[in-house]
Structures are given as structure tokens and as C-alpha cells.
Structure 1
Amino acid sequence: MTARPARPPSLPVLAGAALLVLGACVPVQPVGASPEREDVTGVRADPGAVRAGGDLVVALSAEPDRLDPTTSSSLYTRYVMNAVCEKLYDVDADGELVPQLAAALPTTSADGLEVTIPVRQGVRFADGTPLDAAAVVTTLERNLTLETSSRKSELGPVSDVQALDPATVLVRYSRPFAPLTASLADRAGMVMSPTALAELGEDFGDRPTCVGPFKYVERVPQTSITVERDPNYYAADEVHLDSITYRIMTDANIRAANLRSGDVQVADSLSPQDVDALAQEDGIGLLQTGSFGYQGVTFNLGNTEGVGNPPGRIDTPLATDPRIREAFSLAVDRQALVNSVFNDWYEPACSFISPASTYATAAGEACPPHDPERARRLLTEAGVQLPYRIRVSASNTADTLRLSQALQASVLEAGFELEIEPVEYSTLLDQQSSGDFEAVQLGWSGRVDPHGNAASFLTTAAGNNYSGYSNPEVDALLQRAAQSTDPAVRAQLYGQVVTIVQRDNPIVYLYRVRSITGYVSSGEDAVAGVETYADGVVRLGRAAFVTEED
């Protein structure tokens, strides 16, 4: 096992319940802070115990969106893409940035305007196309120019990208952009086959072709996605499985039951309701780690034309009066939600910065108090009729039903009445992008650099700015933070952003999840080599079935 001190949690995507106010509410009772938990990020395979081949079945907790690195927004898409689309850089178990398809970390000119990326040589895509600097340029240009791209703001103010030679990419900036390496450690850095892009264009996600330990085989909507070992992979000798089938199982109880029965060998995002019992069972191992992200409620302030477009105007008290959104933040008892709904496994969150981050400060970690009396006064000052009703779109899973019930109970005393609209996860992502919501209960699995957790969501017209939020002061602060290479300066600037965002509340941050992954640890289906890191992704590229020692 790989164990280390726990990072404060966070992760994927939660929400849910039934339309209108739910009657049987989860009790919300303040209790003590969540206990410290030790991270277990992986289980290594003894080389002598590895069995060659085999077909691994994974219980995946939601249907991924399109398998396109440029446009996708789902954590669960990242799970699948991690097996088939390697990146220029990656995050390791300690949260450090390391080269993957790049040959080394990038170098930056003294003025910060030119970044040079060395590209690994002798590598081929799954379709046999050689990986070179030109292929990287093709991917980056697509991320920057495709109309539906969610990656453009992640890459910063790029003025030009070019291949200096087959092994070297030069990225030029109009102003310095410090978070580039971190951005290239996720979807923005997944290099796509230029041959496949030329053939498929915007349909690339129907048949994604990249460099990875596995290659895409097929997708059965709402059922499964299958990948198989890629013989072209540069480290094919380190890949043990013949195939991986990601079987969609949205119900946490079903995932846990299938893990117990051995019908699946790995299950992601196990429910805190099941974890304590699973931990006591023979033959089941658990990985657990905090994450860089958050869960929260996003309010639609101006997303009238779809995400990434300039904000419009929504003439509702919720969208136009920040006192109502501040009241909602004050109405939520975050600690009680965590303890009551998630059995102390998660932790409260009040911003996009994890307390374990290099960029954490007192301002960045500041948390609005639970103050229903002040919340009610703010609603009265705003002149709205009480109870003030908000329609919250949320994922239709059991855990998120519990959360929604508890959230309803938490804000009731302050004068809010929540109508929860349960929506299938992939449909919820579409609604979030199109602006077809008043409020949406979702989250973000997080990135190692705060830029990846803030700029795309809070900068005017950015690729993940689902709220349609626009504040020139926040735009300027985030730009300054991205330009600085001094962690202390960046931390101070992000703290200022948090202060403003907690005044405007386009997003009310609620809690951070622990990523809990189960695997079969004994018997004929025992597996090892499974890893999950603080970026929220379950890694299976080096997983294997193993033979137990006598």
C-alpha cells in the first residue's frame, strides 16, 4: 500500500432528490469536526504475483460525456480517458507535476512569454501515427480554436504555438502564464492523433485515438465503455490486462454489491454509507484520498447563451441581488451536512482552495458562519416573499438525494424553500452548460493549481463559467495570479478572489469529498496496481490480476 498523511478531501459530482420540497428530511445536527484520515493512494503489485492478461471490469458511477479531451467536462470521462489518452504532464501520488508524454518539465524564458516543451521520442499513437512536436501543436491549436472547446481558458493567453523541431514545442504568450504545466497535466495536455483528428474532426470523441496503455474499442450508451491493450504503447511491457470494461452503475449500493460479489473488480466513488462496512470485509481493499476540488451550488446569474459566451441578464431576485445568495451561504450548516449525510468522511469547503494547497491562506480558507438569523434578515432587506423558493437541479443518485434532503432542512430556518429537480448526470451537465437552470448542485474534481479550480469558472465568459458570473475585479486578480511565478504572491491574490466571491456568491461551496475506490484484494479475481490520486482520477494503466501468496 502507498499511504501518506491525508489531504483535505474533495472530488467528483454529487446532487439529487425529488421535485418539490421533500418531506422525509435527513436530520441535520451539528457535531464535531471530521476525523483525520490517512490517504491510501495505491496498491502495488508484486512482480512475481502478476498474472498476464485478463479482462478487468470497473463499476463506473456515472455515464461519461463525450470522450473528447477538448470538449468534455465530466470527471468520469477523465477515468476512461486516463487509460487511452496520456498527457504531456501528470500528477503523481504526492500531488507533484511530472513529465508523461513530455520528455521533461518545460523551460520558461526570463520574461515568461516563451515556454519550451520537449516531447518524448519513439512514441506512437494507437493508430500508428508517430508522436512528435507537430502532433502536440495540432492538439493545442484545436483546444484553443474549437468553438466548443472547454480548454481555451485553461491554456491562458497563448499568442502562438509552433514546432521548433520534431522534439520541441514552443508556446508563446501575450503575457506570462504560470499555470501552463498544471493545465497540461489534465485534458488540455491529452495529445490526440492528428491522423484521427483529420479523419473525424468534431466527431473525434466517437472514436478517440491517443497514446495510452489501452485503446478505445466501443461504447454502449448508458451501459459500458470498453478499451483494450494497445500494442503500440511505448511501455507495453508494463501493461498487464487485456482489456478494461467500464460498466455504468449509478447506484452506489449496486456498485458495492457488485464489488462484494466479484462481478466487478474495481468500483469508484463508493458511498460513505457503505465504506465502514466494506472496510471490515475480507477480500475487499479500499483506496482513499482527498482531492483538490469541491462540491457546491452554482447559481445562474447570466448564462443565457450557453457557457463560454458573454453573460446576459436574468431578471430574478436570485440572479440580481447578491444579498439573497449571501443569505443562502449563511443558511447552510456545512459541518452538519458533512457529518449527517456523509458519516464524517468528507469535510466542509468554503472556497476553491484546498487547505492543503501551497496557495492556502487565511483569506482563502475563510468560511462564512452558519447564521440563519442574519440570512433571514438579508432576505427581508431584499424584499422577497418568504419562504424564498429556489429550484435546484441535481443528480438523481441515492447519496445526492440524502444531501438534497439535508440541504433543504439546513436552509429552511433561514427562509429558503428548495425545489429539487432530479436529473440524470449527463443531462445535468448539458443543462449546466446551456444555462437551463436556476441553481445546480454539482462540483469539480479539482486541479493541483488553483487556476484550474477558479479561472475557468469565475472569469467572464470562460469555458466553465456556468453561472455567467462577471466581475472585472475578479478577472483582473485571476489574471495577475496566473502571471506571477511567486507562490506567496499568487496565494495572496487567490485569497482576495475568495473574499470577493464570498460576497457575490455565484458559487456557494459546500464540502470536499474523499475519493473512495474499492477493489477485490483476494481470491482468483484479486487485483493490484490500482491507483487514485488527489486529482480525483482512478488510474488503471498498470493494474493487473495477481496470484495470492500461499
Structure 2
Amino acid sequence: MRARRPHTGRISPNVAASRGARRPDAVVQQTDDTAEVLLVGASARSGRHARAARRAAGASAALAAALVLSSCYAVQDTIATVDRTDAVGEPLGDTPVREGGDLVMGLSAEPDALDPTTSSSLYTRYVMASICEKLYDLDADGELVPQLATDLPTVSEDGLQVDIPVREDVVFGDGTPFDAEAVATTLQRHLDLPSSSRASEMGPITDIAALDATTVRLTYETPFAPITAALADRAGMIMSPTALEELGEDFGSSPTCVGPFRFVERVPQTEIVVERDPGYYAADEVHLDTITYRIMTDASIRAANLRSGDVQVADTISTQDADAMSRESGLTLLQSSSLGYQAVTFNVGNVDGTGQPPGEVDTPEAQDARVRQAFSLAVDREALVATVFNGWFDAACSPISPDSPFSTPASEACPEHDPEAALALLREAGVEPPLQIDMQISNTPDSLRLGQALQASVQAGGFDVRISPVEYSTLLDVQSRGDFRMLQLGWSGRVDPAANTQNFLSTGAGNNYSGYSDEEMDALLAEASQGTDQAARAEVYGEVVTKVQEDDPVVYLYRQRNLTAHTDEVAGVQTFADGVVRLSRAAFVGDDDGADDDTAADTAGEG
């Protein structure tokens, strides 16, 4: 184990005050020109927490006032008590349901290509969860469970061979038999396709082989502990070899996998339709005829359509609507702690596109880590989550969730808001404030509110941020090409921290959008992924966080909650810590023989 290196930033002693269930309820009191956060509960009345509450309240009020003065957005006169109790949704169980119907989901962004090898969008994962099952999945408790595999992998004593047993009662949506050879074909594609985003997720594989019809063997150069978790995500989505042969790199235009539903059509910027697959191995558990994923990028429009019944499910509920929806008759708000984060990424070496060798970027923030450190110090994270997100989200400075079993004090450490120190760092780096910098960001209303609040927050620390809003799908492309100086996007998170760190911070990784490259970081990430002892891995990931906070290619801002809502005419909708909204076992509530069925059918048809 490497000796821990000293951290250059100051650490906030109050970071724990904003962590999940360990944080007391937040009451956001807003008036026409200010917003303040009052932390309530016995712990908040103790000395240290009370002082933290007063500092947060003052900072929130100052930021809210700055936002109003800059006409960023209206701060409404409301008092909201935030209930952040996880409610991930229940399986159907004995709920009376009717067969059939078209469920419509309001989707907050356009998915990218429906291709497990190349996709990088959370919203694509929503759709793929219905049409493209994985070797493993995540259950409601955050545990890894077999899906197309029949058991967890068997790993050799030296950790270099991983054997995966797979199902034999399965066919793809096009009738092609599912077997170990088909699994090997998909996994090899993940490694070989030049545009793959999965290769770094799968680790240092030297060989993939089908030992027999039901066993796949992965052979590694060095042990790779995160492989099971990786195969519970897009890397584990198995594609029809027939469709791969016919479509090649265009697989995403008409994806065929194993799933309860199969792809029907996609109308760009409008909707994606999938239909029930009668050949699915558990077809008796599937009740809906079709699911339509309708693109609705404005959160207020999604909320209005949900209330009118034109859609039955909507994702990414705005924190401006969440409290009201949680109390509203006829609606159910699902929420879960996120394993992910929201951040800004600096381009420090992405000159030829993600995954390519890093090059030189001639900007102050790319040339000197002190500029990026200054930005991190200039951000008032606590005020951001209080004023922009009404206390629903948590300030964050790390890619590792405090709810993760890999969390340590080192991974939860957070540089304290200090605009004076930020100004000093800029001047040390030879930059005379203010530093003008463009930030690419999604053009959704909630993202713009965040951008404007961030713009106001960092002014005192010497940054003049110019906001450049673009469509979400365009933002993904800009990010991959490296056509940005600073960019705001997040990551929905995974159960193993390798997917939150290694894929973004190791040299040449598929999600290393910053173009960051550092030999010490590469060594730390490799060490963290090789061990099997969870405590030892967690300690190394703490060192990873310390290192990333010194170099700051990515500056972490906050950790969101997964907020999804559905009407009470449907049941079986679930969303877990991975952020994916699961609809494959959902159904319309009612009795096929009852009078209420006609009403439900009419409503579903209108949706």
C-alpha cells in the first residue's frame, strides 16, 4: 500500500452534515430576494452543527440574492420540508393488474445510440433495461444478482480466470439461440470496436472463450475485481450475433437482445417504442403491450403531462416539483440515494477525442492545476444545493458516494469554500482575475438554473463563467470530441467505484473526457481494481480521491437523488441506486373483468 500523501486543500469539518440519512431534514425558507436553509433536529441544535447551519444559511442567502440580482431565476415564496426517505418502488406482488396497454414514460433527455458498446447516456440505459438484459443486475438492496447468468462468477485462486455460467432456456428477440458463444461475441466486440466505451470497464482481458454452451471464461493479465459489477451494466448487455453480423456498427439503429420487450421504432427527438416479446423466457411476468419513451426535456412539461395522465411515468422530477408531488393524490414519488454525482470537467488534454492519447491544451486551466484548484475552492457547494435544489441534493467533492461500502473519511473529504484562497491561487498561477471561461451545459431549465447559480457562486473567487447551453445529445458529442474548455455533466454511478473513477481518470479510458493523464493516478487505479479485500480497496480509493482533488481535472459539485414519479394507475415501477427506471414488470392496475378496466384502457390509449 502506498503511503497517503498530504492533501493540499483544506477539509471541511461539516461535510457529514449533508450526507443522506445522517443529515437532519432541511427546511428551505425562500422569500422574494433571499433563501435560507434551517437545519432542524437535536443534532443541528448542538454547537458545531448549529454553527454549520448558520454558515450554510448565510451562504445560501448570499447566493440567492446574487441570483435574483443577476435575474438568473425567480426565488419563490415557499416553505418546503424535504422528506428524503428512500422509496424505490415495489414489485407487483398480489396487486390486481390487467393485461396489455401502452405505458408512456416522459423521458428527460434524448438517448444516444441504443448500442451497449458505445452508449454513454443514462437515458439509453432506461430503454435498454426493457429490451437488453445483462449477465447480472442490481436488486433493490444494491446487491449484484444473476440475470442472464445463472450464478455469480467463479474466480480462480490467482484471480486471472473468471468463469461465468449462462442460461440455456433463452432466445434473442430475433429467434437466435442464446449461448456462451453469443456472450463471447458481445464481450469481444466491447474490446475490439474502436468507438467502444466498454473496453476500460472490462479490465486487462487477454482472452474470451466459450468453454461449452453454458460457460464463458475471461482470462486476465492481472486480477480485476470490478468485473461482476461491470457486467451488471452495459458491458453485460448481450447482443444478438445475427443482428451484429447484419448491422455491424449500426446495431444501435435496430437493437436486438434478450429482453421482455423488443425494439419497434425510434422517431428522433420524439419517442422510442418497444413491444412485448412473446419469446421472452419469462413472458408470463410481462403485462404491458408496449412502452413508449417520449422525449420531454422540460421538467415542468413532464410534470404537467404526468398530472394530466398523458404519461404514466416521468423521470428526473425537478426539485421544484418533488415536494408537491410527494404529497399529491394520484401520484407516487419514487426516490433513491444516488451512487453518482454531478460535476464540471475541464479539458486538460482531450485534443483528438475521448480514448485517444492526450495532447496539449493551451488554456490557463489546462496548463496549471492551481487554476482548477481555485475553481473548486470558489464553488460554494452547500449554497448551490440549498438554493438551486431546495435541499433535496447533497454537496459532494468525490466520485464515491458516502452510501458506498467503499466510502472512507478520505473519500468524503471536501475542500472548504474559500474565495480568497481561490484568488490567491489564480495569482500564483500567473492568472489575473477574473478568468473568463466558457462552460458547455445542457439547455434544460434545471441545468440552466444550476449553470447560472454556479456562475454567480464562483465570481468572488475570480472566475467569469460564460454559459453555452446546448441540447443534451449535442453535449454528449461535444464531450467525446473534446470540443470544450469546461463542461457540466454528471454520472449516474455504479456499485463498484472503479466505474466512477477508473473509466474517467485513467489514461485513455473510455469515459476520460478531460484527457487527464497521470502515472501516479494510473497506478493507484490499477492497484484499487486488483485487490479482493474491500477495506484495502476502499483505502486506495481514498488515495484516488486525494489525488483527484489535487489535480482537479473533474470538480465534483453535488450528489443528486434519483427522483421518478408515476400515476397510481400503474404499479411495478422501480428505480434503484443505479438510477435506472425499471418498467419491464410494470402494469396498469385493475381487474380485466371489472368496469374500471375500460377507463384504464382509454387512459392508456390516450397516453
| Superposition TM-score tier, normalisation by shorter sequence | over 0.9
> Hey, what does 1:544 align to over in structure 2?
587
1:132-189 alpha-carbon deviations (Å, 9 max, x no partner): 0000000000000000000000000000000000000000000000000000000000
1:150 pairs, out of 172, 197, 201, with 197
CA contact 1:300–1:467 (8 Å) conserved in 2: yes
- Counterpart of 1:366 in structure 2 is 413
Runs of 5+ consecutive residues of structure 1 not aligned to the other structure: 9-21, 29-33
| Deviation per residue, 1:81-122 (Å, 9 max, x gap) | 000000000011111100000010001000000000000111
Q: Contact 2:82–2:323 at 8 Å: present in 1 too?
A: no
Letter in structure 2 aligned against 1:282: S
Could you tell me how far apart the structure 2 residues matched to 1:27 and 1:181 are? 46
| Pair 1:463 & 2:510 matched | yes
Deviations 1:181-212 (A, max 9, x none): 00000000000000100111001000000000
What is the SS of the residue equivalent to 1:47?
coil
Kept in 2: contact 1:27–1:406 (CA 8 A): no
In structure 2, the partner of 1:433 is 480
- Please give the per-residue CA displacement for 1:471-493, whole angstroms capped at 9, x wherever unaligned: 10010010011100000110010
- TM-score after normalising by structure 2: 0.85
- 1:204 corresponds in structure 2 to 251
Change (3 A) 1:7 1:534: farther
Note the C-alpha offset of 1:48.
5.0
| Distance across 1 between alignment mates of 2:422 and 2:383 | 17
User: Are 1:137 and 2:184 matched, yes or no?
Assistant: yes
Tell me, in whole angstroms, the C-alpha distance in 1 between the residues paired with 2:585 and 2:271.
21
- Deviation string, structure 1 residues 405-457 (Cα, Å, up to 9, x no partner): 11011100111110000000000000000000001000100000000000010
Distance 2:467 2:550 in 1: 25
Letter in 2 for 1:380: R
- Deviations, residues 41-100 of structure 1 (Å, cap 9, x unaligned): 013335351110000000000000000000000000000000000000001111110000
Query: Aligned to 1:487, which of 529, 534, 553?
Result: 534
> What is the Cα deviation at residue 27 of structure 1?
9.1
Q: Structure 2 CA distance, aligned partners of 1:303 and 1:217?
A: 37
The within-5 A match list for 1:494-533 is 494-521=541-568, 526-533=569-576
Report the Cα offset of residue 510 of structure 1: 0.3
What is the rounded CA distance, in whole Å, between the counterparts of 1:316 and 1:263 in structure 2? 48
Distance of aligned partners of 1:231 and 1:157 in 2 relative to their CA distance in 1, 3 Å threshold = same
Alpha-carbon distance, 1:383 to partner: 1.6
The equivalent residue for 1:110 is 157
Residue type matched to 1:531 in 2? Answer: Q
**Cα distance 1:538–1:148, how it changes in 2: closer, same or farther (>3 A)?**
same
Which range is displaced more, 149-158 or 353-362?
Answer: 353-362
Q: Secondary structure at the match of 1:169?
A: strand
Q: Name the residue aligned to 2:271.
A: 224
Tell me the percent identity: 66
TM-score by length of 1: 0.93
Distance 2:346 2:188 in 1: 32
For the 8 Å contact 1:26–1:406, the answer to whether it is kept is no
Residues 6, 169 of structure 1: CA spacing in aligned structure 2 closer, same or farther, 3 A cutoff? farther
Q: Tell me the distance in 2 between the aligned counterparts of 1:411 and 1:430.
A: 27
Which secondary structure does the structure 1 equivalent of 2:461 belong to? coil
Q: Quick one: distance in 2 between partners of 1:519 and 1:241?
A: 15
Match runs of 1:96-495 below 5 Å: 96-495=143-542
Between the two structures, name the one with larger relative contact order (CA 8 Å, sep ≥ 6): 1
Do the aligned residues in 2 keep the contact of 1:293 with 1:447 (CA within 8 Å)?
yes
> In structure 2, what is the Cα distance between the partners aligned to 1:262 and 1:281?
14
Equivalent position SS for 1:59: strand
Query: Which amino acid letter does the alignment assign opposite residue 502 of structure 1?
Result: Q
How far apart are 1:25 and its partner, in Å?
A: 3.4
The residue type paired with residue 322 of structure 1 is A
Q: List, as ranges, runs of 4+ consecutive aligned residues in structure 1 with deviation greater than 3 Å.
A: 5-8, 25-28
Letter in 1 for 2:129: N
CA distance, structure 2, for counterparts of residue 178 and residue 467 of structure 1: 25
Q: Letter of the aligned partner of 1:299 in structure 2?
A: F
Write the letter of the residue equivalent to 2:580. V
Cα offset for 1:6? 5.6
- Alpha-carbon spacing, 1:135–1:324, altered in 2? closer, same or farther (3 Å): same
Aligned residues: 525
Distance 2:572 2:167 in 1: 24
The answer to whether the 8 Å contact 1:225/1:246 transfers is yes
Instruction: Decide whether aligned partners of structure 1 residues 6 and 181 sit closer, same or farther in structure 2, where only a CA change above 3 A counts.
Output: farther
Task: Name the SS for the 1:170 alignment partner.
Answer: strand
Q: Which residue of 1 aligns with 2:140?
A: 93
Mapped partners of 1:406, 1:528: distance in 2:
37
Please state whether the residue corresponding to 1:295 is helix, strand or coil: strand
* Alignment partner, residue 83 of structure 1: 130
**Cα distance, 1:216 vs structure 2:** 0.2
Q: Higher Cα Rg: structure 1 or 2? A: 2
Alignment of structure 1 residues 15-26 onto 2, 5 Å: 23-25=70-72
Q: Cα RMSD (Å) of the superposition?
A: 1.7
**What are the Cα deviations for residues 335-376 of structure 1, in whole angstroms up to 9, with x where unaligned?**
110010001000011111000111111111100100011001
Q: Helix, strand or coil: the match of 1:440?
A: strand
Q: Distance in 1 between matches of 2:117 and 2:362?
A: 33
2 CA distance for matches of 1:527 and 1:83? Answer: 16
| Contact 1:6 1:39 survives alignment (8 Å) | no
Q: CA deviation at 1:23?
A: 3.3
User: Which residue is 1:12 aligned to?
Assistant: none
Does the Cα contact within 8 Å between 2:134 and 2:238 map onto a contact in 1?
yes
Q: Distance in 1 between matches of 2:248 and 2:154?
A: 31
* Secondary structure of the corresponding residue to residue 320 of structure 2: helix
Kindly provide the amino acid, as one letter, of the partner of residue 366 in structure 1: A
AA matched with 2:108: S
Q: Is this contact kept in 1: 2:396–2:556, CA < 8 A?
A: yes
Residue type at the aligned position of 1:190: M
